[in-house]
Chains A and B, each alone.
Chain A
Amino acid sequence: MTDKHTPKTTTKACSRRSFLKTAGKALPAVPLLSMQTEAGFLERFFQKNFKELSTREKDQIVKRLEQEYEKEYGKKFTVGAEPALKGVQFAYALDLSRCIGCRKCVYGCVTENNLSIDPQIHWIRVLEMDEEEGVNLHNATPYYNHKKVPAEGKAYMPVQCQHCRNAPCTKVCPVQATWLDDDGIVVIDYDWCIGCRYCIAACPYGARHFNWAKPKPKREGINTNTHYLGNRPRMKGVVEKCTFCVQRTRKGKYPACVEACPVGARKFGNLLDPESEVSYILKHKRVFILKEELNTQPKFYYFYG
């Protein structure tokens, strides 16, 4: 039987194999030839998930991105790739009895994180609701437009990424482009995101936003201090969200929204540090989390100071 078949199959296999071999060799050359004008195309095409990158690879990518951004915006950028801090669990606490709904946090975030002005993307939504009803999301609106705030009889509740310990958005990502980092920040590798928007559907807080068009941040005054997983300029077709200002917090600074809040309603710190402000709040105040029934286990606490 083998004798019968051997000559036939070998000739056939040989020809197919040799074709595939030559084709396989030629294939990488095709994009090389046609994409010569676009620098770094191959590197970008074969770039791995951020979690799998070696330090050397990260350095190369950071350098390439910095050059790209400088070319586009005419300013020198720094793209950080600092890993998660050890012994740190970032958490946020927001004092609802202080918040006046002035939206300073919203626009502080826009400036810090180079959010798109057109089409508009806001990572923070400030909800207005009736004071009497308490937190009632059914009657809440972010589109209130008063001359002065706080408006009579109204209460305010800013909502942004809750950085859940049990984050549904990270579970549904088919390519693991978003994950909960070791210091408690849910991050996105924009280069790895395929734009399927499953995470947007999964997030019960409306915290994730999709770049339907090429985002246009403010060019003058663009924040050049960026992080790979944070506020570096994004591209069309990827999802973005609050990162607790990873470019600031991993260097020890408060997030931009904390610094922008005029009434000091926003508190941020390390849950594992018993001396931190958030630890004090959890210990001494009555806190609640949004949509507890979904078991998302947020690290974003609301309290009444």
Chain B
Amino acid sequence: MYFFRPDQISYKMILKHRNIFSSFWGARIFIVVSILISSLLLTSFSADTDEPSSDKLGVQVPPPPFSEDIFPCSDCHDEEQPTNPNRRELEEEHEDLVLKHDEENRWCLDCHSPIDRDSLRLANGTHIGFEVSYKLCGQCHGPKLRDWKAGVHGKRTGSWNGAKQYLLCAHCHNPHQPAFKPITPLPAPFRPSEIRLNK
């Protein structure tokens, strides 16, 4: 009996065909193909009826909040960087990342795909783009995702009866440390006794 998870299948397939990507032109072709696939994914996303109902009203989501020069991840995580699937403390790269988000039970490759670093991976193995990362968050935070889709959780700007702009979960919550960081408040109002009228 063999139990294949979809990601294992594709992982093996890629391992099998990795020689294709090792050549110069092979890498170019891979990039072009991946761009085509991601654009297809994007168009299918906007047509998806499962998306927030306000999409019909023209909800716009800004691009995901990547750190500077970090995306695409495949720039570094290429075929010369084989994936080490063992859970460990990172020492060479990303050592500044501290996971404080159910870190007892999870680590990098629970959300980031070990096969395609430019994608996220759902618990069922489905790969999704960073621009729909809310699907990943919604796996655990279901009620919050529901509220977000209704426009009740999270910030919406724009028009109350027309086009709106959403933010992704990651725009406000650092996915690695989602706890809210306190901010500096704006100045307190004057007490009435402090207000002097200039005649």
Contacts and interface: CB of A to CB of B under 8 A. Distances in A.
Interface residues of B, number: 34
Interface stretch (B26-34, B63-71, B94-102, B187-195): B187-195
Given A119-B197, A142-B188, A149-B185, A277 B53 contact: no
Interface string A94-136: 0100001111101100000000001110100100000000000
Contacts of A249: 160
Contact of A106 (B157, B160, B186, B191): B186
Interface residues of A, number: 47
A261 B155 contact: yes
Contacts of A277: 150-152, 156
Interface stretch (A37-45, A188-196, A265-273): A265-273
B147 interface: yes
Interface string B133-145: 0000000000000
A259 B150 contact: no
A276 B172 contact: no
Given A122-B189, A277-B156, A280-B150, A213 B182 contact: no
A205 interface: no
Contacts, number: 104
Contacts of A273: 161
B155 A264 contact: yes
A135 to B, nearest CB: 20
Given A264-B153, A264-B172, A281-B152, A253 B159 contact: yes
Contact of B157 (A258, A281, A285): A258
Interface in B146-199: 147, 150-162, 167, 172, 180, 182-191, 195-199
B134 to A, nearest CB: 14
A262 B197 CA distance: 33
Mostly helix, strand, loop or mixed at chain A's interface? loop
B197 A212 contact: yes
A285 B150 CA distance: 12
B40 to A, nearest CB: 30
Given A104-B186, A107-B186, A254-B160, A118 B198 contact: yes
A277 B57 CA distance: 13
A280 B54 CA distance: 13
Given A106-B189, A259-B157, 20 more contacts: A95-B152, A102-B183, A103-B187, A106-B186, A107-B186, A120-B195, A122-B189, A142-B189, A143-B189, A145-B188, A148-B183, A149-B185, A252-B159, A254-B159, A262-B172, A267-B151, A270-B160, A275-B54, A280-B150, A305-B152
15 contacts: A100-B180, A103-B185, A143-B191, A148-B185, A149-B183, A252-B162, A253-B159, A254-B156, A254-B158, A258-B156, A264-B154, A264-B167, A267-B151, A270-B160, A284-B152
